Amino acid sequence: MDSLNDTIAAIATPPGDGGVGILRLSGPDSVRLVAKFFRPFSGQTFESCPARLLVAGSWTGGDGLVEDNLLCVRFAAPASYTGQETAEVHAHGGGFHLRSLLQALLQAGARLARPGEFTQRAFLNGKMDLTQAEAVADLISSRAALSRQAAARQLEGGLQRRVEALRKKVLDLSAQVEASVDFPDEQDQLLPREELARSVAEAQRAVQDLLSGARTGRLLRQGAKVVLCGRPNVGKSSILNALLGTARAIVHDLPGTTRDFLEEPFQIEGFPLVLVDTAGLRLADDAVEREGVERSRRAVHQADVVLLVLDAAEGFMREDREILEELGGLASQEAPKMVLLNKSDLSNRSDWSDPALKDFLLLRVSARTGQGLDLLKKNIFEKVTVGRPAADLGEALVTRERHESALRRAEASLAQAAGTLEQRRLGSEFLSGDLRDCLDSLGEIVGATTRQDVLSAIFSKFCIGK
Ligand SMILES: Nc1nc2c(ncn2[C@@H]2O[C@H](COP(=O)(O)OP(=O)(O)OP(=O)(O)O)[C@@H](O)[C@H]2O)c(=O)[nH]1
Ligand SMILES: [Mg+2]
């Protein structure tokens, strides 16, 4: 890893032209480097200007010519985003102009920051834990109200507090057990097994509680894939269009119209979704359609919610039954499945009492009249939020697979500890081993015990200048 003593610099605002563009520096030479080019109008040196105050002045290039009139601000360590001395240059936001200013700073001795390096420094200097650092990236990339709200809760420390409370609980337990390792003779006295078992069970419940929000948290961050599937001509593309309110997909009365799958971002009450329209599932004779059908299967495989579309006017056909059977093996067990009886404007006489359908929620809809679409949206929302009311979704949720897998390992260690406690023969050193494993796993979530390569991978996904 690069040294924290490097002074790093980057353009912090997005590429392109804008009213204002910001350059950011962090490291021991930040202020000195900016001061080489920046002359406050007040006549003071930049170094002697108060910290955290925007100072107006001119920027002079190497040849002594003024290149911009702009604002600069300095932050003294440790009271900055990164915890180091930092400086910002708020210039006019031309892409070429900003790159020229950056170039001058790099020539003067700064190093170009890697993606996420500012936030990585903030993490390394204890300004935030790993869940908060991740929340910075999530807030920047959020595209829907509820995702933004979840990222903000996490940034503010919601998840950190829940995990730290759990760690503290396990740490206390572990201290109690460790004490008895030192005095093996007094073990029974020091190890009130029932009390310990109760504490372990309590920790297990807290882990499960965190895990129960993991799916929703992940979907909030990534957008839930809602896949429309079914045989040709039942109206999948029409439903997609009706939900989006635009004629995004081609609709035609010829079966086999949609050849490739099609994805569009969509939201329900601020929950981010990706609607996926697919090619009708059937035994296709031409090679292109066969490839399309294969892609439909892959889309169903990756679905977070599956909408099987039937034709209400035609009723439940043999082909529908075959698709329904195939869905069982194809779609994820976790993914809720609903059956849409489309074209219900044409008929609602068909019989849907077939046993194959009895486990599914059947919704009568019409892409043509819009009937039933509000109810469909309400049901999709309930499925992706697992019934939590929208107001609860801002509560700190586990949002990444990384958190989830660490929690599963913590859960396994606690189960092991519970087992050890039951088998009275095993000594307390086994128990303390289990608890240490559990603490390591929990520590990975907040970044206390996270491996260097994992950390690098997390920060490398950030944008430059963050
Ligand atoms: N009356 C009525 N017609 C509909 C409805 N939805 C779709 N249709 C008609 O059904 C035909 C097929 O619609 P599509 O949306 O192309 O069907 P699809 O399932 O996407 O078909 P493929 O792409 O071929 O698999 C078109 O002629 C639509 O106008 C509906 O709710 N009511
Ligand atoms: Mg279609």
Rounded CA separation 426/434 (Å): 12
Q: What is the pLDDT of residues 45-100, one digit of tens each?
A: 999 999 999 999 999 998 899 999 999 999 999 999 999 999 999 999 999 999 99
Q: What is the model's pLDDT at position 464?
A: 82
| CB of 224 sitting under 6 A from ligand 1 | no
Among 234-248, 337-351, 358-372, 435-449, the least confident range: 337-351
pLDDT tops 60 at residue 165: yes
For residue 62, report the phi and psi dihedrals to the nearest 5 degrees.
-60, -30
Rounded CA separation 327/309 (Å): 12
Hey, which of 227, 228, 229, 233 would you mutate to test ligand 1's pocket, going by the most ligand atoms within 8 Å of its Cβ?
233
| CB of 232 sitting under 6 A from ligand 1 | yes
pLDDT tops 60 at residue 187: no
Ligand showing the shortest atom-to-Cα distance for residue 344: 1
pLDDT tops 60 at residue 189: no
pLDDT tops 60 at residue 443: yes
From the CA of 241, give the closest atom in ligand 1.
15
Ligand showing the shortest atom-to-Cα distance for residue 369: 1
From the CA of 231, give the closest atom in ligand 1.
25
349 close to 324: Cβ distance less than 8 angstroms: no
170, 173, 175, 180: CA torsion to nearest 10: -150
Query: Do strands 271-277 and 262-268 pair parallel, antiparallel, or not at all (unpaired)?
Result: antiparallel
Amino acid in the structure at residue 441: S
Ligand showing the shortest atom-to-Cα distance for residue 231: 1
How far, in whole angstroms, is CA 46 from its chain's centroid? 40
145, 146, 150, 151: CA torsion to nearest 10: -30
| CB of 62 sitting under 6 A from ligand 1 | no
Of the candidates 172, 255, 293, 158, the one whose C-alpha atom is nearest the C-alpha of residue 213 is: 158
Residue range 232-261: average pLDDT?
A: 95
| CB of 233 sitting under 6 A from ligand 1 | yes
41 close to 29: Cβ distance less than 8 angstroms: no
Q: What is the model's pLDDT at position 394?
A: 61
Q: What is the pLDDT of residues 106-141, one digit of tens each?
A: 999 999 999 999 999 999 999 999 999 999 999 999
7 close to 27: Cβ distance less than 8 angstroms: yes
Q: Percentage of the chain surpassing pLDDT 70?
A: 95
Residue range 323-329: average pLDDT?
A: 92
Rounded CA separation 137/237 (Å): 34
Confidence of residue 305 (pLDDT cuts 50, 70, 90): very high
| CB of 234 sitting under 6 A from ligand 1 | yes
Q: What is the model's pLDDT at position 78?
A: 96
33 close to 106: Cβ distance less than 8 angstroms: no
Give the pair of three-digit tokens for residue 380.
């999709």
pLDDT tops 90 at residue 285: no
| CB of 236 sitting under 6 A from ligand 1 | yes
Rounded CA separation 205/387 (Å): 20
273 close to 227: Cβ distance less than 8 angstroms: no
Alpha-carbon distances, residue 442 vs 159, 215, 244, 407 (angstroms): 12, 18, 41, 7
